[in-house]
Amino acid sequence: MAVQRFWIGGLAYTYEADFDLDVTMWPPFYRGFDRPQALPDALELEWHVRLAGSGAFRPTGTPELESDAWRLWREGGTRTIAFEGAPHNPPQWTATMDLDAGRAEVRWNQQLVPVRDESPLFGKLFALNLDRLLTMYRLAAGGSGMLVHGAAADFDGQGWLFMGRSDRGKSTLSNLLNQTRAALVLSDEKAIVRKLRKDFWLCGTPWPSSAGFATAAVCPLRGLVFLEHGIQNELIPLDAPETMRRLLAMFACPWHDQSLFDPLVTLGGEMAQALPAWELRFLPNESVAAFLRERLAGKRSG
C-alpha cells in the first residue's frame, strides 16, 4: 500500500493506493504542503482518502442534487458525488465521503490512468476538483474552519484576508504586495480560515489563480478586507452585520446541505463579531502596497 500525505489548512490528508504515489504526481503548487504546518496545539482534522482505481460509478437511485457537471447522493453521513465534466457523460470520477469517519474513496474512469508527465492525472483532475471538494466538506463537517474565495497575505506575522468575486483584484493585489515585498502572499484565490481555541488562523492553499501564489504557511488572522475598484486608495470600515452579509458570498461551502451549512454560518458570524473589517477601494499600482502597510501594520483584532 503506497501512501502520500499533505497538510492543508490543518487538514491532514492521507492518500492510499495500490500503485506508487509521490508528491511529483500532484501539481508543483503542492510542494511544501507535504510537511506539517505550525498550527497551535496540532489541532488537525484527518482525511483518509483511498484511491481505489478505475471504475467510476453512479449510485442507484435518484440523485438528491444535480447540475450540468455533477450529481450528488446522500445517505446519513455519507455523500457521493459523481463529476461528469459535461452533461450525460460517463463520470470522470466519483468520491464517496464518510464525513463522520473522515474517510473517502475515489474511483475514476478507466480511460484515465495515473501517469507522470507534464499533465499528470492528479494535476488535471484531482488537485483542481477533488481536493478542494474534500476540503470544503471536511471543514464544514468539522465546524472549525472554511474555504474562502480570497487572497491571503502575511504582514509581519499578521494575516489579512482580501476577499472579492472574480475581477475584483485579488490577483492584482497579490502581485503588487509581492513585487513591493509589502507582505508574504499565501494565496491569491483560495484561502482557509480555521478557528482554533478562541483565535482565527489564516492558511495558504495549493490552489492558486493566475498570479500563482500558493504558500504552505499559516499566521494569525487579524482582519477582513473586501475588494472593490476605486479612484483612490481608501479603507471604509464595515460593521458586523454588513461584514456577515459580505462573508456569506465568499464561502466555498455545500449550500444545499443545511447540516453542513449551518455551522459555517455560525462560524462566519463569530468572525464578523471578532475581527475588524473594511471595504478596500484601491488603485491597481504599487501605491496600494504602501497604503496597506501603513494602515494595517500593527492593527489587532477586536
pLDDT band with cut points at 50, 70 and 90 for residue 43: low
Task: Report the amino acid identity of residue 235.
Answer: L
Summarize the confidence of residues 134-139 as an average pLDDT: 89
Spatial CA neighbour of 49 closest among 134, 175, 163, 116: 134
pLDDT band with cut points at 50, 70 and 90 for residue 279: very high
- Alpha carbon distance 211, 191 (integer Å): 14
Question: CB–CB of 253/140 below 8 Å?
Answer: yes
pLDDT at residue number 185: 97
Positive/negative CA dihedral, 234, 235, 238, 242? positive
Helices 240-248 + 258-274 axis angle, to 10? 140
- Alpha carbon distance 219, 94 (integer Å): 34
Q: Is 182 exposed, middle or buried (0-12, 13-18, 19+ CB in 10 A)?
A: buried
Q: Which three cell numbers stand for residue 144?
A: 472549525
Q: Note the pTM of the prediction, 2 decimals.
A: 0.91
Question: CB–CB of 107/52 below 8 Å?
Answer: yes
Summarize the confidence of residues 64-83 as an average pLDDT: 87
Task: Report the amino acid identity of residue 25.
Answer: M
Domain ranges of the chain: 2-142, 146-296
Query: Where is pLDDT greater, at 69 or 179?
Result: 179
DSSP 214: B
Spatial CA neighbour of 221 closest among 271, 168, 290: 271
Identify any residues that bridge with 172 across adjacent strands, giving them in sequence order: none
pLDDT band with cut points at 50, 70 and 90 for residue 122: low
Looking at the predicted structure, is the pLDDT value of residue 113 above 70? no
Query: Where is pLDDT greater, at 77 or 124?
Result: 77
Question: CB–CB of 93/71 below 8 Å?
Answer: no
pLDDT at residue number 88: 66
- Alpha carbon distance 209, 187 (integer Å): 8
Average of per-residue pLDDT values in the chain: 87
- Alpha carbon distance 181, 165 (integer Å): 25
Length of the chain: 302
Spatial CA neighbour of 194 closest among 221, 223, 167, 232: 221
pLDDT at residue number 302: 37
Percent of the chain with pLDDT over 70: 90
Find the range with the poorest average confidence among 115-119, 173-177, 251-255, 282-286: 115-119
pLDDT at residue number 118: 44
To the question of domain 146-296 being in CATH 3.30.70, the answer is no
Q: Vertex 99, ends 1 and 208: CA angle to 5°?
A: 75
Query: Where is pLDDT greater, at 105 or 129?
Result: 105
DSSP 40: G
Helices 287-296 + 170-179 axis angle, to 10? 80
pLDDT band with cut points at 50, 70 and 90 for residue 112: low
Q: Which three cell numbers stand for residue 297?
A: 501594520
pLDDT band with cut points at 50, 70 and 90 for residue 40: confident
pLDDT at residue number 120: 55
Find the range with the poorest average confidence among 38-47, 138-147, 235-244, 279-288: 38-47
pLDDT at residue number 123: 59
